[in-house]
Structure 1
Amino acid sequence: MKFPERFSNLPAHAWPRLRALLDVHAPGGDVINMTIGEPKHSFPAWVTQVISDNAAGFNSYPPNEGSDALRGAIAGWIKRRYGVDVDAASQIMALNGTREGLYNAAMALCPETKNGQQPVVLTPNPFYQVYMVAAISVQAEPVYVPATRETGHLPDFAALPAEILDRTTIAYVCSPANPQGAVADETYWRRLIELAEKHDFQIFADECYSEIYRDTAPKGAIEVASAMGADPERVLIFHSLSKRSNLPGLRSGFVAGGPESIRRIQQLRNYAGAPLPLPLQAAAAAVWADEDHVIENRRLYAEKFDLADRILGNVAGYRSPEAGFFLWLPVPDGEAAALKLWQDTGVRVLPGSYLSQDVHGENPGAGYIRVALVAPKEDTQRGLETIRDCLFQ
């Protein structure tokens, strides 16, 4: 039997690589896991009651595109957050987590060719690995665009050659950025949308960290596109309750965009998707409608941002994140630093190179470690002090 070659040479996923690096060694102290971005703050206590009250919905197949109540709640949130009116019925689809949407949107929308050539999918580098695998799955050429200190930790797509941009069908952007915490401002979005209009590609805006910020709410891609009067099909936004509401296990997210794009993604979902059960959709609708728990969540992260600034602020190259909940700490060698931390102290972090791709012999994540600030404040403080004492004294 012959299997597709395009998946045979995928780089190992970050987590198996991390286990292979660390787990053959004993930890050097009490384990503090600062690797995965899995929120540990409490989710709203009333969520379980909503699920219980709607438990009869487990007896029914859920609607493929999301219940009217859920899509209506999402449309209401988009209006409150970004000041943009979207039609709940034609411009929103509920997702079983945004990873599904980020992948399936490429499957549904990327053409087989562009201008008679192999299409290109642009991704920042470092990146969330589903972007790369989506590109490979649609047999596009993934082009990894550096998101480094020199570019403000956001990809400079305009610096690419015209022949690449003319073949581009999709550009993935993560803002606030995972792992660096950089935020795309209005000027960045405006220039990118203008570039997409000029070269006729779509922007997939991964905004899952949009509600974890310090002072100013990040601008949204749909907000800027609407103000510009851009083609409604030009920008798709992807959001989730995982980070906003500390509900990664609920697997509730959404994609919003132009009606034709949403129609095509829904059509693929009819055959290849798994809609969220109705009781969970009811809970998600209630959560999108509530902001009090989000404000409290942000306050808890702000305390940990301040801790990081105080503990690591004197480290050469330290950059306080604008948003999100990761630190992107510069070190001489990310793998060596992660291994030393584990063996000497029991603190577990992720080498930055595991989130990046080598391009022309360079890996933009090689000189970093990613540190997640998701643990309780006391554990976070202990972990940050241990990192400082082990790596930066």
Structure 2
Amino acid sequence: MNPDLSLTKPYPFTRLRALLSDSKLPDGIEHISLSIGEPKHAAPEAVIRALFDSSKLFEKYPATTGALELRTAISDWIFRRYGVKTDPLTQILPTNGSREALFSFTQAYIDRTKSPFVILPCPFYQIYEGASLMAGATPYYCPQTAENNFAMDLDSVPEEVLRNTQLVFVCSPSNPTGKVLNLEDWKKLFSYSDKYGFVIGSDECYSEIYFDEEKPPLGALEAAKLLGRDNFERLIVFSSLSKRSNIPGMRTGFVAGDAALIKPYLLYRTYHGCAMSGPIQQASIAAWNDEEHVRESRRLYKEKFAAAVPLMSKTLGISMPDASFYLWAKTPIDDQEYAKRLYEEKAITVLPGSFLSRDCGGLNPGRGYIRIALVATVPEVKEAARRISEFNPK
């Protein structure tokens, strides 16, 4: 087997199952899971209909490039959302969700012969780490803490690391903190990319979960355009319909950005065998072309946050995120102990923050936090918030 497999760490939910393996739920209380970022809102009817209406396409091999109709739908959505023009032929590729693309792009791009580094935010989505290790790179964890406003501070990265960095992952809105990068943040990132030559991989799968319809989060392509980087040099954006359209099981998304990176990545994908099936492509077109269901999802998330934050803040250190459907909550006791006792006493599952982090700079930025995913139904979230407001372990 590939020896790099031995370098990977157990996945957060594997660790969560182990943590709770000897725990029992309390009698007479319905369990509510707020641990996994899996949307529970209904999938759009038009998307499901398009999937089944095109089922004959299962009889045909799909092209790795995806249908031009899909790439055009994605390009049109990017323009409507960000005011940015992209070439559907050279700057966009459909992918089987963002997770697959984050991993496969890293394998395609990293040159393991040059002792490469990949800079990761910490806490982070663990695919960044696993993809880096499997590509032969060394992850460098950049801590995001309350003290630095959960920002990824490249000024703190040693010069030797920066000189050998090939890829920097950013996540905006962030998993798990919900922080959104502003234009000054992007300007600084681009300046570092220009100086050291690394690619920026911007994970934007939470871009459509926000709270003010008039102020959607800034995206990387939009920031690049505003800063005069119309060719998106050394920039790749990863996006997904899983969160936006409540269809995580369809595994559909895209990458967009620098055509000079998209071209060799397409070659890699041709060999990788990860073309999106025809019916999924048609369902994706229906999803990208409709905003009504996305606005309704945002309305439901706003209702859940409005109900949950005031109650949960009675016993947890909580503030509203910039965007996303997560709460990054400071716990009064050790995060793993808190999660275990909350499960045993209040029948609620949350994810310990230390499972999303690594020790870096003498600390684990996730320790003492939990991630709460407000993905359950509105009544379930309200009930969970009530229970958490009553749970104050000593």
Shorter-chain TM-score range: over 0.9
Q: Retained in 2: the 8 A contact 1:84–1:222?
A: yes
Give yes or no for the alignment of 1:156 onto 2:153.
yes
Give yes or no for the alignment of 1:132 onto 2:124.
no
Q: Distance in 2 between matches of 1:154 and 1:7?
A: 30
Q: Distance in 1 between matches of 2:9 and 2:56?
A: 43
Give yes or no for the alignment of 1:93 onto 2:103.
no
Q: Secondary structure at the match of 1:182?
A: coil
Q: Retained in 2: the 8 A contact 1:154–1:177?
A: no
Q: Unaligned regions of 5+ residues in structure 1, if any? A: none
Q: Secondary structure at the match of 2:90?
A: helix
* Residue pairs, 1:66-145, within 5 angstroms: 66-113=66-113, 117-145=114-142
Give yes or no for the alignment of 1:51 onto 2:51.
yes
* Residue pairs, 1:163-242, within 5 angstroms: 163-215=160-212, 216-230=215-229, 232-242=232-242
Question: Could you say what the CA RMSD is over the residues aligned between the two structures, in angstroms?
Answer: 1.5
**CA distance 1:338–1:267, shift in 2 (3 Å):** same
Residue 150 of structure 1: how far off its partner (Å): 1.5
Aligned residues: 388
Amino acid across the alignment from 1:13: Y
**CA distance 1:361–1:151, shift in 2 (3 Å):** closer
Name the structure 2 match of 1:390.
Answer: 391
Residue 154 of structure 1: how far off its partner (Å): 2.5
Q: Retained in 1: the 8 A contact 2:209–2:298?
A: yes
Residue 315 of structure 1: how far off its partner (Å): 4.4
- Deviation per residue, 1:304-359 (Å, 9 max, x gap): 11112221244463221111001111013110000100111211111111111122
Residue 88 of structure 1: how far off its partner (Å): 0.2
Q: Secondary structure at the match of 2:45?
A: coil
Q: Distance in 2 between matches of 1:118 and 1:13?
A: 25
Q: Secondary structure at the match of 2:391?
A: helix
* Residue pairs, 1:7-46, within 5 angstroms: 7-28=5-26, 29-46=29-46
Residue 169 of structure 1: how far off its partner (Å): 0.7
Amino acid across the alignment from 1:388: S
Amino acid across the alignment from 1:85: K
Q: Distance in 1 between matches of 2:41 and 2:55?
A: 25
Residue 27 of structure 1: how far off its partner (Å): 0.8
Name whichever of 10-19 and 204-213 sits farther off.
10-19
TM-score, with length taken from structure 1: 0.95
Name the structure 2 match of 1:335.
Answer: 336
TM-score, with length taken from structure 2: 0.95
Q: Secondary structure at the match of 1:172?
A: strand
Q: Retained in 2: the 8 A contact 1:61–1:277?
A: yes
Name the structure 2 match of 1:248.
Answer: 248
Q: Distance in 2 between matches of 1:183 and 1:392?
A: 32
Name the structure 2 match of 1:64.
Answer: 64
Once the two structures are aligned, what percentage of the paired residues are identical? 41
Q: Distance in 2 between matches of 1:75 and 1:149?
A: 36
Q: Unaligned regions of 5+ residues in structure 2, if any? A: none
Residue 360 of structure 1: how far off its partner (Å): 4.9
Q: Secondary structure at the match of 1:391?
A: coil
Residue 361 of structure 1: how far off its partner (Å): 4.6
Q: Secondary structure at the match of 2:139?
A: strand
Q: Distance in 1 between matches of 2:69 and 2:165?
A: 36
Q: Distance in 2 between matches of 1:75 and 1:345?
A: 46
- Deviation per residue, 1:50-80 (Å, 9 max, x gap): 1222111111001102111110000000111
Q: Distance in 2 between matches of 1:151 and 1:360?
A: 14
Q: Distance in 2 between matches of 1:66 and 1:308?
A: 41
Q: Secondary structure at the match of 1:108?
A: helix
Q: Distance in 2 between matches of 1:209 and 1:47?
A: 19
Q: Distance in 2 between matches of 1:260 and 1:108?
A: 13
Q: Retained in 2: the 8 A contact 1:236–1:257?
A: yes
Name the structure 2 match of 1:287.
Answer: 287
Amino acid across the alignment from 2:12: A
Q: Distance in 2 between matches of 1:343 and 1:295?
A: 36
Q: Distance in 1 between matches of 2:392 and 2:189?
A: 38
Q: Distance in 2 between matches of 1:52 and 1:360?
A: 51
Q: Distance in 1 between matches of 2:357 and 2:207?
A: 22
Q: Retained in 2: the 8 A contact 1:213–1:298?
A: yes
Amino acid across the alignment from 1:179: P
Q: Distance in 1 between matches of 2:131 and 2:164?
A: 16
Q: Distance in 2 between matches of 1:295 and 1:316?
A: 29
